[in-house]
Structure 1
Amino acid sequence: MLYSAAMVAQNVNVSGIVYGEDGEPVVGASVKVDGTKTGTVTDVDGKFVISLPSERKKITVSYLGMMPKTVTVSKNMKITLNDDTRSLKEVMVVAYGTVKKAAFTGSATEVSADKLKTPSASLDKGLAGQVAGVQVVSQSGQPGSGTSFRVRGSGSLSSSNQPLIVVDGIPTSNEEYSQVAYDNEASSNILATINPNDIESVTILKDAAAALYGSRAANGVVVVTTKSGKAGKAKVSFDAKYTTSSIAGKYDMMSSGDYYKQLYNAYRAAGKSVEDANQLTQGTFTHNPYNIDNPLDANGNLVDGARLVVDTDWQKEIFHAASTYDANVSVSGGTAKSSYFFSTGYLDQEGITPSAHYKRYSASLNTKVDATDWLALGMNAKFSYGIQNTEVAGSAGASPLYDAVNFPNAVPLYVVDANGQPVLNESGNKQYNFSNPVARDMNPVAIPNMDVHRSTMLRFIGSAFAEVKLFDGLKFKTQFSPDIVYNNEHRYWNPEHGNGPAYNGRLDKYHTTDVMYTFTNTFNYAKTFAEDHQVNLLAGIEYWQSKYEYLYAGGTGVGDSQELAQATALLSPNSYTTKETMISYFGRAEYSYKEKYNLAASLRTDGSSIFGDDNKWGTFWSISGAWRAKNEKFLKDVDWLDNLKLRVSYGTSGNKSGIEHYLYNRYLSQGIYGVDADYKYGSDKGAVLVQLENKALSWEAQKMFNVGVDFSFLNRFYGSLDYFHKTSDGLLYKYPLAEQNGLLNVTMNAAKVANHGWELVLGCNVLKDSPVKWNIELNASFIKDTIKDLYGDNDVRQTNYAKIWTVGGSQYEFYMPTWVGVDSETGDPLWYNVDEDGNRTTTNDYSKATFERQGKSTPDVYGGIHNMVSYKNFDLNVQINYTLGGKVYDGIYANMMSEGNTMGSNLHKDELKAWTTKGQQTSVPRYVVNNSNSSNSLSTRFLYDATNVRLANVTLSYRLPSNLGLLSKVISGAKVYVSGDNLFTWFSSDWKGYDDIDIYGVQGYNAYPSIPTPRSFTVGVNVTL
């Protein structure tokens, strides 16, 4: 850089270059001569030339997001602007715009990209434990699966409790499109389709701040903002990582030898001879795990020459190490008037079970250009293509998850001879064994590779907008935003083994299309009056439409072909189309006086086509205020207090997610009547009424109150405390009808629930001014839910999840008999029987056991602890998640403790503690062949305290130094990192199963296994050019 001083009309020409902290030239930086109106901007190389009067010696350089700098002119000027981290953190993305945090009046949490650096394949899983009041439960380790996402508890009994996901201002659909995924292994997780590397920040709106989204905001709103370009030369970033995953914890099952002896002794106790007991035991297993026919003698000991030759660890065979490859490339840059960000990514994620797999191809483009001084244009587009193979789940015999804990170890994986050696086929290959006592013609390792359960989803989310500056302070913005989903699914049962032979091969094909678009027009007026009074007004109108199309075709007799053209018989095809539209009018007013006193109010009216004429429109509103007490004169001089802000809000919002199309109508419409050839009169088809109309059906309505305080002191400690109370009224409820009506129930707005609780955030910059920087942040949530009304009903059993709904109780309250233990004299199981006067006696007859309330599945307290430590070029992040209180029912373990109720099904090692002699003290009842004592039926025997602490993530990264010699001319930054997920879980109870209590879900109940979240280790590299 050269300094040239040519005396022309007493002016001096000054030139130089402006850099950012990263060493890159700053494009579009403002350069002004102090004390004058003379100024210029830097060019695409960060260079500037400015003429200043000879008596002026200083210039000021500034750029948005950087600290301004005033310098004295000199030769060889190189000016570096530092990032204004305070300015960057001042603004937060909220509904339909941004707001200064200092003036924000609601309750919301922003999670920056720094906290989302854990190498998760999905954003929602990375949020677990990060935000107070937000519970993220990964109910399956199936790659690409969704999560149970709760913001301040559950506000509905039967509708969705998932929050609204808004991506770059676009409200998206979080519907479940899959027809072939089982249970919690859904493939339509919207957050799994977004590349985590593209995310700039996530804001979670938890109170009335969400009211501007109206009828979709009752469960909170998650606002996702993706990265955009910055002015400067093109910056290329490459990120690649490799992950290996494996099962975390297993059930401790009986060996085939132990199980053989247990069953043999039971047959002997039933009076069977030695030979019969041996043969019956082998018949129960359908296999002999020993090398001779009668391996046990009259005393239950091995005879000479007997040797165990089959002891299959089915969990080991089914759960295997899995690999994940993830690579992403982004290019960003811009000029003073334009910016762009483009990225593309590839994810190939294996599951830890035989056929679980997920591939994702993604691309993203964000652009913006100031076409003129008054017109800005922009667009963003996000494309993803996902291919997901899922496992069969639940109690199906084809489910490897079910079979992993139910197939006895005496069943061999392959066909074996008397010595346990595999019998080879004509080609010299091992042959899978399909004979077992649990599921006909099944092999949990072979079948997943013979059958197909595949979903392919193409999703496009985008927007195009134009923003016009009408006059000082007033802007008009119009935006068109499509959200398009194409989902094709393929389910094939092979003709040789499993479920398929009955059909000689079966094929089902599903095609669903959901085309949604949002057209939004807003006016925004922002003005500061008399320096101290700031006003921000927003008014808008929005039109939203969704057209959903479903098509099914299937056939049998397809043989080895996976094409319907080969089917010998076609199954009844099915198709339907639904359409929904909604128009909305909304507005918001915000006022701030010196950023000390802040007020805000919003109003939204939604009109939806899915309601009857009586309730097509719903109006939702909010009002809130905040007082920055620290800015008052009486606190200004309190040096140790850095910030003190009080907030209060009240508002309403709605939920329409559980409203099916045409529920208000009883006339013939798609999805209302069952139309089939079976309902006919002569040659004419008929119709059967399957629902009653309810023209009064309306939105589920929610009222939310919040009061909170934000604080920081000693320039080291910070935190917040919030109390909230939300009431959800008019909840959808299937009210039972008398049988003579011909229908079981009618859907009504009949129930009411309330949630209240506290949210606490505490943070500390433990080591701030030392070479080692350490920040620790804890969040804790205390939430209680209460059912207020069930339309006259006091008790409603929820048998699917062993719950009971009671007015005054929780919707998550367990309901089951109380387990007493084992009768030491007889070995019988014992439960409590409670008479009308409350007297408690024991009974060994399960039919006489009294069902009682046993506590709730939701925790008393939950949250996370996040540690960030840095030293020179090293960064260490540690995330600990915890759950205190609550109950979980382990139905999987219950199935393993049958005491002979389920013959042949595998047993847990705890069955070795079964009662055998009079006076014996044990917790396991006697084992009896074909037992009928219901000892493993629903009771508190298998109900556990859910308290646990999980080491969720540890990530260590190293930033390579900038002095890399010749590489420095090519590479502007590089980082390598290693990471571990789900490393260790501590349970307060004697937990028996996988180190993943989340697969039991919010309900805390799972009778059949899902894929547990694996333990994972990742190594990765990030390079910026």
Structure 2
Amino acid sequence: MERICTESLPPLRKMHNEKKRIAKLILIAPFIFATGTYAADGSNVQNEASPMITQQKTRQITGTVVDKSGEPVIGANVVVKGTTNGTVTDIDGKYALDVPDKAILQISYIGYLTQDIPVGNQNVMTIRLVDDTQSLDEVVVVGYGTQKKGEVASAISTIKSDNFVKVPTSDAAQLIRGQVAGLSIVTPDANPVGNSQISLRGANTLLQSAAPLVLIDGIPGDMNMVSPDDIEQIDVLKDGSAAAIYGTRGTNGVILITTKNAKGEMPTSVDVNAYLATQQITKKLPFFTADEYRNLVAQGKPGAQDDGSSTNWLDEVMQTPLTQIYNISLRGGTKTTNYVASFEYRGIEGIIKRTKNQMYYPRVEVTHRMFNNMLKLNASLSGYKQSYFAGSDDDNGYNKEVYRNAITYNPTTPVRGEDGKWSESPSKTDYLNPVALLEEVEGENQATNLRMFASATLTPIEGLDIKYLVSSNTYNQTRGYYETTNHIASYKNGRTGFASRGTKRKVDDLSEVTASWKKTLFKDHTFSLLGGYSWMRTNYQFYWMQNFNFPSDDYTYNGMQTGQALKDGRAAENSEQTESLLIGYFGRFNYSYKGKYMLAASVRHEGSSKFGANHKWGTFPSVSGAWSIKDEDFMEDVKPLSQLKLRAGYGVTGTAPEEAYMSLNTLDFGTYVYYNGSFIKTIRPASNANPNLRWERKKEANVGIDAGFLDDRLTATVDYYHRTTSDLLWRYQVPLPPYLYSDMTANGGSVRNQGIEVTVSALPVQTKDWQWQTSVNYSTNKSELLSLSSDMYVSNDYSDQGWLPEPMQMATHRIEVGQPIGNFYGYKSIDIDETGHWIIEGADGNPKPIADQVPDDKKVIGNGLPKHYLNWNNTVRWKNFDLNVTMRGAFGFDILNVAKLQFGAPIMLTRGNILNTSYDKVYGKTPLADDQGLQYVSYYVEKGDYWKIDNVTLGYTFNFNTWVKSLRVYGTISNLATITGYSGIDPEVSIGGLTPGVDDKSRYPAARTYTLGVSVKF
């Protein structure tokens, strides 16, 4: 830490400070006689009328705390060492403190070295902080608390807001894409209302969600529940020893989001952020143009038809979008009260017309400390309001048929006929005018999410915190959708107008009590204990109704009662409500000896109403330990080594059933039978009771090592994990009788995942003007399905999954005991005959014509899950310029190119346009025959390896000494370039569930995003 000292203040500054002191004296004058004498800054001094008290002479020290670049540091702690006399720096980084003679100032701030500086005879001290390159005192958020990074014994990754990926999105997951080894974040398309798919350390379940548990300031939520601009840092609990304290919710890992807050005394600071962005499609599939298509007509190709026009259907449904994001936040407070208030608007447009996602994020949070910091009260109100176009009768907003028909509709067909009506071909299956699909519908999805929480923390003695937290999260959605009488569906189904209305409501109520105690004994032994109780109730309500045959399109979905179909009993309606409870008791013990030997253990005893009667409760223990080898005496002379820590942990976590009543015998009242001239409602079993239904149990061991060199200019972290998930939930066929229903959900199978994660970070260049930070992380995972059966329930050793749509209608994947998750399963094509028909490999390994295929000829033809992930992040700073480049790649996986499979065969010309490669030679021999039917063969399973230049951001920061503190202007290009051999739109495809690696022919296209942003601090 450097210090720049001056002996005296300039005369004007002296006068200004003297006026401030006089003003403060005037304000506090009424209290002088009642409470004693006060100093000019309002602090109490000894009462001169009391001869029993000896005063120590003090004087005021003022100054500024700045970082390495000279920027003022807000909230730095400035304390007279050995006392409780201290303050924090204000928004200008300034401080003022009364100190005794020979005082030593102790200055500390997270991420910087804590230093002791003698005051001497100085009156003004400007202090420049120095980075704590070891960062062992950096705060890491763990379950129900925080720890110093140097004390952590589990696999936890922390990403601070400065390192977030700069991308305009309402999905906070994209902020940390490529930043955490083992955490796969995939954005399969550019749909503005789409969400990223998140997977941590492989597939650990078969039927349940693989998404990690997300907690926002300790309260369950989703990645889109909080404005990305309000996030301070994100911590990822990766292994079982870290996540076990969350019991049945921790199997897929835990993502802890910490929002920005204000701490200590500071004037109000105002941050304003604004972004403008636009997009363009990254790749257009090569379909025949109008002129090329007419050549097919001239050649007499079956199905080709010239309608006399030239239409670029993709251009007809696409737009140049404009995204606008504006955020303003205020933070400030006194020694006792802090507040945060922010508001954000996000209007995100997509490249397909009418696709837009509008979101409003309000937030207010207040923290108040009472009774000399013995009691802390905290309350917050936040959430969002959302609205977007509903182009289909679901929650997606986007109708997949729009893009698919835009690429396959005949390019010689006009948008409208001579009569002004939409050009349609009702006789063709799945062939619809894409422009009409956009224009002949009306719809809107509206949602609100209200998050409320309050907590009270009592600290009766030093080191003991007793906290009570209560929260409620309410999500309400209302949606409406309408197809006009001119919609093609009205014609095909013989109806006049179609409307759908629906709503959802989900309420999560949480109540938690925790007590934590931390104590250091004999200077070397540090203990901490945590105990708590958690109660959470989830209530879900849902209803929807449909109607058609309306007298007019005027009221769309707002006149549901005017449709005739409901009155005739031909339209559907449904409603339901479910509720579940989750109760947990938990505790954790941490011990550290001299910071060299660390031990942690936790346990959670949890009960859920979702479990069967015989298994309502489960216990989830964990233990971990760490050894800081570098702190041993025998390592003292190893100077290049700055840290070396060995970690090991073991934990048990669980996964609860997603649905509320899977263990109960339910009835179905929705079936009608025709009896005695009329339809009557029947009652029949809908599921079997299963009193033994319980949680999926994951047992995970993790061994890791953390190393640092050259004062942590170079750091490395390596983790190896081995996890086995047993009692997997699966659907089993059961005999009738004794069961009342043909299948049931029960616990049975098991799956194993193991892998390695490596992160290397370096600071190769750091001078006065230059700095280059770089980080590379790599991960690999290997999964294996160990079983699908149990002692009570027997299943086949395999199950076919996925489904290719009409006209193929067959499974795409197979999960099989002894095999990894994600295998494609189909016919292996090895050649093509002289007539243009497939030759496949039979079950005996010999070639055979595709016409002679039998199901036994199918085999594994690829795998959709990447075996390797590699990410490389770089930040370069030169003076006030900053350049950030993030790159990422996935390797060792395959993609089923469904668009090529269905639109790359000449036979599909009878259904519309096809790829201009459809008549290319296959295997260099001959094109596919015009009569070769669609076949799911390995020819369409391509290598998916890719390397993306994912994000490039260039910025410049202006620093001011006025009421504007700083202004940063920057530009960003996201999804800049992709290096791949894959022939489809984009190799970044879905990795979710049991059918990863399928490139949907109707996917929303991938896009490149250009962003211009400005950030102003007041």
Please state which band the TM-score falls in when normalised by the shorter chain: 0.7 to 0.9
Once the two structures are superposed, the pairs formed by residues 409-488 of structure 1 within 5 Å of their partners are: 409-415=411-417, 432-435=422-425, 438=428, 442-488=432-478
Match of 1:234 among 268, 293, 300: 268
User: Does 2:770 align with 1:772?
Assistant: yes
Match of 2:825 among 811, 815, 819: 815
Residues in 2 aligned to 1:44 and 1:957: alpha-carbon distance in whole angstroms: 26
Compared CA separation, residues 202 and 820, structure 1 to 2 (3 A): same
Partner of 1:746, secondary structure, is strand
Residues in 1 aligned to 2:1011 and 2:786: alpha-carbon distance in whole angstroms: 47
Cα distance, 1:194 vs structure 2:
1.6
Match of 2:247 among 211, 214, 223: 214
Query: 124-133 or 194-203: which moved more?
Result: 124-133
Residues in 1 aligned to 2:366 and 2:130: alpha-carbon distance in whole angstroms: 23
Compared CA separation, residues 311 and 885, structure 1 to 2 (3 A): farther
Cα distance, 1:674 vs structure 2:
3.3
Residues in 1 aligned to 2:235 and 2:530: alpha-carbon distance in whole angstroms: 20
Partner of 1:913, secondary structure, is coil
Asked if structure 2 preserves the Cα contact closer than 8 Å seen for 1:591 and 1:599, the reply is yes
What residue number does 2:307 align with? 288
Partner of 1:911, secondary structure, is coil
Once the two structures are superposed, the pairs formed by residues 328-343 of structure 1 within 5 Å of their partners are: 328-343=327-342
Partner of 2:783, secondary structure, is strand
Asked if structure 1 preserves the Cα contact closer than 8 Å seen for 2:102 and 2:119, the reply is yes
Report the residue type matching 1:924 in the other structure.
P
Report the residue type matching 2:780 in the other structure.
F
Once the two structures are superposed, the pairs formed by residues 1001-1012 of structure 1 within 5 Å of their partners are: 1003-1012=996-1005
Gaps of 5+ in 2: 1-8, 19-38, 41-47, 49-53, 790-794, 804-810
Report the residue type matching 1:691 in the other structure.
S
Deviations 1:536-591 (A, max 9, x none): 10000010001111122232133312211432333343211111011110000000
Report the residue type matching 2:465 in the other structure.
K
Asked if structure 1 preserves the Cα contact closer than 8 Å seen for 2:409 and 2:431, the reply is no
Cα distance, 1:749 vs structure 2:
0.5
Partner of 1:998, secondary structure, is coil
Residues in 2 aligned to 1:1009 and 1:325: alpha-carbon distance in whole angstroms: 27
Compared CA separation, residues 583 and 462, structure 1 to 2 (3 A): same
Compared CA separation, residues 264 and 1008, structure 1 to 2 (3 A): same
Once the two structures are superposed, the pairs formed by residues 529-928 of structure 1 within 5 Å of their partners are: 529-558=521-550, 559-560=552-553, 561-562=555-556, 563=558, 564-570=560-566, 571-658=571-658, 660-666=659-665, 668=666, 672-676=667-671, 678=673, 685-715=681-711, 716-737=713-734, 743-769=741-767, 771-791=769-789, 792-800=795-803, 802-823=812-833, 825-835=834-844, 838-841=845-848, 843-847=850-854, 850-901=857-908, 903-913=910-920, 921-922=924-925, 924-927=927-930
Report the residue type matching 2:446 in the other structure.
T
Compared CA separation, residues 996 and 944, structure 1 to 2 (3 A): closer
User: Does 2:983 align with 1:995?
Assistant: no
Residues in 2 aligned to 1:347 and 1:93: alpha-carbon distance in whole angstroms: 28
Query: 738-747 or 700-709: which moved more?
Result: 738-747
Asked if structure 2 preserves the Cα contact closer than 8 Å seen for 1:357 and 1:390, the reply is no
Cα distance, 1:379 vs structure 2:
1.7
Residues in 2 aligned to 1:438 and 1:397: alpha-carbon distance in whole angstroms: 19
Asked if structure 2 preserves the Cα contact closer than 8 Å seen for 1:241 and 1:1020, the reply is yes
User: Does 2:986 align with 1:983?
Assistant: no
Asked if structure 2 preserves the Cα contact closer than 8 Å seen for 1:338 and 1:369, the reply is yes
Cα distance, 1:737 vs structure 2:
3.5
Cα distance, 1:432 vs structure 2:
4.6
Cα distance, 1:694 vs structure 2:
1.4
Residues in 2 aligned to 1:851 and 1:441: alpha-carbon distance in whole angstroms: 31
Residues in 1 aligned to 2:636 and 2:338: alpha-carbon distance in whole angstroms: 41
Residues in 2 aligned to 1:527 and 1:407: alpha-carbon distance in whole angstroms: 72
Asked if structure 1 preserves the Cα contact closer than 8 Å seen for 2:400 and 2:1003, the reply is no
Partner of 2:310, secondary structure, is coil
Report the residue type matching 1:328 in the other structure.
N
Report the residue type matching 2:307 in the other structure.
N
Partner of 2:224, secondary structure, is helix
Asked if structure 2 preserves the Cα contact closer than 8 Å seen for 1:796 and 1:805, the reply is yes
What residue number does 1:17 align with? 62
Cα distance, 1:686 vs structure 2:
3.4
User: Does 2:522 align with 1:527?
Assistant: no
Cα distance, 1:821 vs structure 2:
2.9
Residues in 2 aligned to 1:222 and 1:20: alpha-carbon distance in whole angstroms: 33
Asked if structure 1 preserves the Cα contact closer than 8 Å seen for 2:800 and 2:813, the reply is yes
Residues in 2 aligned to 1:38 and 1:216: alpha-carbon distance in whole angstroms: 42
Gaps of 5+ in 1: 173-189, 268-279, 290-309, 417-422, 426-430, 963-967
Partner of 1:630, secondary structure, is helix
Report the residue type matching 1:938 in the other structure.
Y
Report the residue type matching 1:752 in the other structure.
S
Asked if structure 1 preserves the Cα contact closer than 8 Å seen for 2:58 and 2:99, the reply is yes
Cα distance, 1:832 vs structure 2:
1.7
Cα distance, 1:265 vs structure 2:
3.1
Report the residue type matching 1:209 in the other structure.
A
Residues in 1 aligned to 2:84 and 2:282: alpha-carbon distance in whole angstroms: 66
Residues in 2 aligned to 1:590 and 1:679: alpha-carbon distance in whole angstroms: 68
Asked if structure 2 preserves the Cα contact closer than 8 Å seen for 1:679 and 1:685, the reply is no
Compared CA separation, residues 896 and 541, structure 1 to 2 (3 A): same
Residues in 2 aligned to 1:245 and 1:818: alpha-carbon distance in whole angstroms: 39
Partner of 2:460, secondary structure, is strand
Residues in 1 aligned to 2:87 and 2:771: alpha-carbon distance in whole angstroms: 37
Cα distance, 1:995 vs structure 2:
3.0
The CA RMSD measured in Å over matched residues stands at 3.0
Cα distance, 1:288 vs structure 2:
2.3
Residues in 1 aligned to 2:206 and 2:479: alpha-carbon distance in whole angstroms: 30
Partner of 2:479, secondary structure, is strand
Residues in 1 aligned to 2:95 and 2:855: alpha-carbon distance in whole angstroms: 87
Report the TM-score when normalising by structure 1. Answer: 0.86
Residues in 2 aligned to 1:809 and 1:411: alpha-carbon distance in whole angstroms: 48
What residue number does 1:158 align with? 207
Once the two structures are superposed, the pairs formed by residues 220-299 of structure 1 within 5 Å of their partners are: 220-230=253-263, 231-266=265-300, 285=305, 287-289=306-308
Compared CA separation, residues 99 and 40, structure 1 to 2 (3 A): closer
Asked if structure 2 preserves the Cα contact closer than 8 Å seen for 1:679 and 1:686, the reply is no
Asked if structure 2 preserves the Cα contact closer than 8 Å seen for 1:812 and 1:856, the reply is yes
Residues in 2 aligned to 1:680 and 1:108: alpha-carbon distance in whole angstroms: 64
Deviations 1:463-503 (A, max 9, x none): 10000012232211000011111011112111212224533
Asked if structure 2 preserves the Cα contact closer than 8 Å seen for 1:239 and 1:1021, the reply is yes
Residues in 2 aligned to 1:522 and 1:839: alpha-carbon distance in whole angstroms: 67
Runs of 4+ residues deviating >6 angstroms: 3-6, 8-11, 25-28, 42-45, 679-684, 739-742
Report the residue type matching 2:883 in the other structure.
L
Residues in 1 aligned to 2:414 and 2:838: alpha-carbon distance in whole angstroms: 33
Residues in 1 aligned to 2:734 and 2:902: alpha-carbon distance in whole angstroms: 35
Once the two structures are superposed, the pairs formed by residues 49-68 of structure 1 within 5 Å of their partners are: 50=98, 52=100, 56-62=101-107, 65=110, 67-68=114-115
Compared CA separation, residues 633 and 517, structure 1 to 2 (3 A): same
User: Does 2:410 align with 1:408?
Assistant: yes
Report the residue type matching 2:685 in the other structure.
L
Asked if structure 2 preserves the Cα contact closer than 8 Å seen for 1:515 and 1:546, the reply is yes
Cα distance, 1:984 vs structure 2:
0.8
Asked if structure 2 preserves the Cα contact closer than 8 Å seen for 1:543 and 1:583, the reply is yes
Asked if structure 2 preserves the Cα contact closer than 8 Å seen for 1:406 and 1:438, the reply is no
Asked if structure 2 preserves the Cα contact closer than 8 Å seen for 1:11 and 1:51, the reply is no
Partner of 2:195, secondary structure, is coil
Partner of 1:471, secondary structure, is coil
Deviations 1:104-146 (A, max 9, x none): 1100111111111513312112222111001111133211211
